[in-house]
Structure 1
């Protein structure tokens, strides 16, 4: 497995997790069957692709990227698609998450990059 494949699988895992989370919102506490099933499919897909990335990437690095970027993308979609608002502390916190992901990917010697 190449690093490109591992990071590609991780990117797919992140996208699946974000889509699954959107369907979680749409499921209305699991009261709507179709969004609930879609959520489950995307979460399973997310964990499958995360497991593929873990064949090369260390767990801590992969999970930090998966969780961090998932949070950021979910917040962005919440603002853009769902018309939710973020206050200044939320934006600062999200910027700190982005900064952490950048540090892990550019300065850490722990990853498979």
Structure 2
């Protein structure tokens, strides 16, 4: 269970860093740029701890899939980014894929 906590930290840190990337304006603003560097550092460290027991493909699928959803929601809330129906359907399919991996796959380390 601890490894899933590490994965959650990795996802949250990556989402914060990716969201701050836009605000960094090409690394010309200090605080958002610092948030990007620290966020990605924490994300990769936490992901490396996750990989002790969760298979790489599963961890990366969950990390990237949930990260896509979270970044898309934050982009809507913070930057007014709108998604069209094909984008929403695509993101929903990604979420469905993460659910299938975690519910039905024996590869996933629970």
Which TM class, normalised by the smaller chain length?
over 0.9
Partner residue, 2:35: 38
Shift of 1:69: 0.4
Corresponding residue number in structure 2 for 1:85: 82
Q: Which runs of 5+ in 2 are unaligned?
A: none
Q: 1:111, CA displacement in angstroms?
A: 1.4
Deviates more, 1:40-49 or 1:76-85: 76-85
Residues 53-64 of structure 1 aligned to structure 2 (within 5 Å): 53-64=50-61
Q: Structure 1 stretches (4+) deviating beyond 4 angstroms?
A: none
TM-score (norm 2): 0.96
- Tell whether 2:9 aligns with 1:5: no
Shift of 1:97: 0.3
Larger deviation, residues 79-88 vs 8-17: 79-88
Structure 1: unaligned runs, 5 residues or longer: none
Number of residue pairs matched by the alignment: 110
Tell me the CA shift for residue 55 of structure 1: 0.7
Instruction: Report deviation, 1:107.
Output: 0.6
CA distance in 2 between counterparts of 1:68 and 1:22 reads: 15
Between the aligned partners of 2:16 and 2:35, the Cα distance in structure 1 is 9
